Amino acid sequence: MYEIKSSILGFEDYKKIEIEAFDNFFSIIQFDKEKTISMNIANAKYLQNININLQDNILEQLNCEDIKQLDIYFTMVIQEPIEDSVINLGAPIIINENKKLLGQFIVEDSRLFRMCTIKDISTL
């Protein structure tokens, strides 16, 4: 169970969630025990040319001293074929896996306020 330290947009009433890894690239956030409300996320490790500068207050909220301790994910809408799935780069979900804390943060870099497909930015 993960504690939400900075609300996920559209899901502000949720304070705790579960995350299920599908594989190294994709995971699913489960908002309820019945698994009827979920969100797909993609691991930034497998996306090319995505650099995010996190503000110090984000590190504080996630009880972290070094950005290297955090995992960065982006929300996505699954399409068929999977390579056409759309990723939102403007509001990553940052996870402190060691302490089971996470939050969604709006990036300041306006170049990231765009939607793109997995085939455009994936390293796979």
What pLDDT was estimated at residue 111? 60
Rg (the chain; Cα; Å): 14
Determine how β-strand 93-96 pairs with β-strand 71-77: antiparallel
Share of the chain above pLDDT 70, in %: 85
Question: Rounded distance, CA 61 to CA 81, Å?
Answer: 37
pLDDT, greater one: 65 or 121: 65
* Residues 57-93 pLDDT 10s: 888 999 988 888 899 999 998 888 888 888 888 889 9
Q: How many domains does the chain have?
A: 1
pTM: 0.84
Residue 20: domain span:
2-121
CATH of the domain at 56: 2.30.290.10
